Structure 1
């Protein structure tokens, strides 16, 4: 009988010890209550409670948690119904506040997120909702983090998972996107044709400028050649005129014979001319050539003749030439 009583006491002692010693795992915190009243929070590790007086109240998870916000239908500012769902990342920073300031913390945060999601999306048009997800996320994060701060919870981030417009709106958006891309393609093609036309016009302009410069240079060269030819012709005419003024008529014959021979030679060199008609009056040509020959002989004789010597004795008066 004594052994049975001793065994009972040992078992009771072990139960008391086990109830007094608490081990808190990493990433969690336990609240301690004394007769139902919160007194302290147990950190990760081993702790000892007062038997039959203190007890564990709530076990709080301090690790970051993910809450799934159910899909809901939201009406935008331009009266378009959109299906929206999201996820919320939270982390408990104060175990006592999370345990005793709100009942069912995950449910409360989920409902708060759904309400604010309807508010934020309802103040935006459909195009803004579809293109500004980051803006929606930031506004929701700011509002919900401020609302959950008294609960000892830090909202790390909120992400919109899906935005689904009605099927007719989706089809209209697809047609709009197709029309926009076709418009961009037409504009791009028109810009390409415009640039090509500009390039071709610039090339033609440069070619015209170069051709004009070439024609100007050629005209300048032709004018210079004609000027030199005219100067040479004027010089030759001047020489002939001087010869005529000096009484030498053969110079005119030489000038006319030269022009005549040049004209006759050009007539013979013509590629279309196969028959050359020689004028019947060759006597004038022969006479002209004879005059030219006489002119040449006279010039040679004048150059070869010695200067005349004076007649008479040394120191006497000069005798005039015969026929003077």
Structure 2
């Protein structure tokens, strides 16, 4: 019986002693309270406290992310949008973080949301949708330093999403569709106009080329005709009377070979008819008749 009692006493003592042994992890601080009142702050490692009398509270000093879910904000032009963001913070003063506020993290989130509402409230919908980087910077500058009262330091703020209301989204989709259709119509019209311009240009160039070719052809023909005439004229200028008489005889011969028996010619070239069969017969008859007339005249005389 006495042995069991001693064992129980020893176990109780060991339990009490172990209750006074604590390990504070890396990136944590410990807040030691004596009868519920803050006594001191200890760093990470092995910490001994008075069992039952003292208690330790561990506070993380590492960087922590916080997601702020979507909530409604009204823009300057009375457009309703929903915004979600994330931020990263760390505890700089564990005492202020734990004792100055019952929930410092929630207070920090409310502070960030309030300033974000004020910033977006000064912007139109289009400005807010296209200025997330600007909003991030303005929001960080606005809350930096204000959270020190909670022992918190905000390291980064990021707008994850800005979503307009369903009605605004439908209107924006219609506007986007209209803009796309307008752009497509303009592009099609410009393409048709360009095609017509190119076709007209090609036709004009073809017409000009044809006209130039015809003009060159006519010029070449005119030059050839001029050369032929000039050559003939030069030959004629250098020809003598014998050449022209010979040409006349050749012409008479060609006429005699044809079906025509009537030839009109100058009396000076009458002797050339001797080379033509028909003309020769006519000449003989004329000479014969002329002789008869002469004889008759002589007889009369």
Question: What TM-score results when the alignment is normalised by the length of structure 2?
Answer: 0.72
Q: Secondary structure at the match of 1:23?
A: strand
* Cα separation, 1, equivalents of 2:10 and 2:71: 57
How big is the shift at 1:47? 0.8
1:32 and 1:42 in contact (8 A); partners too: no
- Listed one character per residue, the Cα deviations across residues 69-118 of structure 1 (whole Å, up to 9, x for unaligned) are 4523x2211122x1423132323242514334443122112211221121
Q: Secondary structure at the match of 2:147?
A: helix
- Listed one character per residue, the Cα deviations across residues 226-281 of structure 1 (whole Å, up to 9, x for unaligned) are 221122111222133xx13xxx4xx333345667899x9xxxxxxxxxxxx83222
> For residue 273 of structure 1, what is the aligned residue in structure 2?
none
Give unmatched runs, 5+ long, in structure 1: 265-276, 292-324
- Listed one character per residue, the Cα deviations across residues 290-322 of structure 1 (whole Å, up to 9, x for unaligned) are 39xxxxxxxxxxxxxxxxxxxxxxxxxxxxxxx
Instruction: Identify if the C-alpha distance between structure 1 residues 63 and 256 changes in structure 2 by more than 3 Å, giving closer, same or farther.
Output: same
> For residue 292 of structure 2, what is the aligned residue in structure 1?
none
Instruction: Identify if the C-alpha distance between structure 1 residues 8 and 63 changes in structure 2 by more than 3 Å, giving closer, same or farther.
Output: farther
How big is the shift at 1:289? 8.9
Q: Secondary structure at the match of 1:178?
A: helix
> For residue 281 of structure 2, what is the aligned residue in structure 1?
none
- Which stretch of the first structure deviates more once superposed, 85-94 or 115-124? 85-94
How big is the shift at 1:120? 1.5
2:142 paired with 1:143: yes
1:88 and 1:155 in contact (8 A); partners too: no
Instruction: Identify if the C-alpha distance between structure 1 residues 182 and 141 changes in structure 2 by more than 3 Å, giving closer, same or farther.
Output: same
> For residue 46 of structure 2, what is the aligned residue in structure 1?
47
Instruction: Identify if the C-alpha distance between structure 1 residues 147 and 158 changes in structure 2 by more than 3 Å, giving closer, same or farther.
Output: farther
Q: Secondary structure at the match of 2:15?
A: helix
* Cα separation, 1, equivalents of 2:228 and 2:273: 25
* Cα separation, 1, equivalents of 2:69 and 2:118: 15
* Cα separation, 2, equivalents of 1:125 and 1:288: 116
> For residue 89 of structure 2, what is the aligned residue in structure 1?
91
> For residue 131 of structure 1, what is the aligned residue in structure 2?
130
Cα RMSD, aligned residues only:
3.5
Q: Secondary structure at the match of 2:115?
A: helix
1:144 and 1:155 in contact (8 A); partners too: no
Instruction: Identify if the C-alpha distance between structure 1 residues 11 and 63 changes in structure 2 by more than 3 Å, giving closer, same or farther.
Output: farther
> For residue 246 of structure 2, what is the aligned residue in structure 1?
254
2:160 paired with 1:175: no
- Which stretch of the first structure deviates more once superposed, 6-15 or 109-118? 6-15
How big is the shift at 1:157? 3.0
Matches within 5 A, 1:1-324: 2-3=2-3, 6-26=6-26, 28-33=28-33, 36-43=37-44, 46-52=45-51, 54-60=54-60, 62-69=62-69, 71-72=71-72, 74-80=73-79, 82-96=80-94, 97-149=96-148, 151-165=151-165, 167=167, 169-240=168-239, 243-244=240-241, 248=242, 251-256=243-248, 278-281=259-262, 287=272, 290=275
2:22 and 2:46 in contact (8 A); partners too: yes
Instruction: Identify if the C-alpha distance between structure 1 residues 261 and 93 changes in structure 2 by more than 3 Å, giving closer, same or farther.
Output: farther
* Cα separation, 2, equivalents of 1:29 and 1:171: 52
How big is the shift at 1:33? 3.9
Instruction: Identify if the C-alpha distance between structure 1 residues 278 and 143 changes in structure 2 by more than 3 Å, giving closer, same or farther.
Output: farther
1:60 and 1:95 in contact (8 A); partners too: no
> For residue 298 of structure 1, what is the aligned residue in structure 2?
none
* Cα separation, 2, equivalents of 1:192 and 1:170: 32
2:145 and 2:153 in contact (8 A); partners too: no
* Cα separation, 1, equivalents of 2:46 and 2:221: 117
How big is the shift at 1:166? 5.2
> For residue 322 of structure 1, what is the aligned residue in structure 2?
none
How big is the shift at 1:286? 11
* Cα separation, 1, equivalents of 2:251 and 2:108: 120
Question: What TM-score results when the alignment is normalised by the length of structure 1?
Answer: 0.68
User: What is the count of residue pairs matched by the alignment?
Assistant: 266
